[in-house]
C-alpha cells in the first residue's frame, strides 16, 4: 500500500541533543512537507520541498534543518537551537497531479512522530 512512513513514533531527547525524524513516502509525490502540531495551535509549516535537492523555509524554520537527497525521503533534524521542541511532528506529501485532478491542496500525511524533551 502506498503511504508515508514516519519513524520513530515516539522519541525522547535530552536538552542540547540533536534528533532526526525520518519520513519516507512511496507515493511518487514530488512535494514533501514538515508540520509541527501543538495543542491549541493547529499545524504550522516548518519546511517544504518541491523537488529533490531543493527546500524552502516555512513559518517556523528556526532550530530545524532538512535535506532532500532522494524523492522518497525528507528527514527533519530538530537541533539544540530549537527552544521548545516538544511537539507532534507531521510529515506530508503532495503531487501537482493530485492538485489538478482534485482542484484542491490535497496533502497526504504520515502518522506523526511525538518528540518529548526531558
Q: Report the interface residues with other proteins, using CB under 8 A.
A: 4, 6, 31, 33, 40-45, 48, 50, 56, 58, 90, 92, 94, 99, 102-107, 109-112
In angstroms, give the least distance from the CB of 69 to other proteins: 20
Quick one: 81 or 111, whose CB is closer to other proteins? 111
Q: How many CB atoms lie within 10 A of CB 35?
A: 23
Angstrom distances, CA of residue 56 to CA of 31, 40, 80, 98, 114: 11, 25, 20, 21, 23
Quick one: 22 or 80, whose CB is closer to other proteins? 22
In angstroms, give the least distance from the CB of 36 to other proteins: 11
Say if residues 58 and 49 touch (Cβ distance below 8 Å): no
Quick one: 50 or 80, whose CB is closer to other proteins? 50
Amino acid at each position: 500500500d502506498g503511504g508515508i512512513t514516519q519513524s520513530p513514533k515516539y522519541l525522547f531527547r535530552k536538552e542540547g541533543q540533536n534528533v532526526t525524524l525520518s519520513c519516507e513516502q512511496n507515493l511518487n509525490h514530488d512535494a514533501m512537507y514538515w508540520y509541527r502540531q501543538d495543542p491549541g495551535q493547529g499545524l504550522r509549516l516548518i519546511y517544504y520541498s518541491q523537488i529533490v535537492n531543493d527546500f524552502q523555509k516555512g513559518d517556523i524554520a528556526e532550530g530545524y534543518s532538512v535535506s532532500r537527497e532522494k524523492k522518497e525521503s525528507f528527514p527533519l533534524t530538530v537541533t539544540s537551537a530549537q527552544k521548545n521542541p516538544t511537539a507532534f511532528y507531521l510529515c506530508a506529501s503532495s503531487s501537482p497531479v493530485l492538485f489538478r485532478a482534485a482542484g484542491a491542496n490535497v496533502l497526504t500525511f504520515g502518522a506523526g512522530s511525538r518528540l518529548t524533551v526531558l
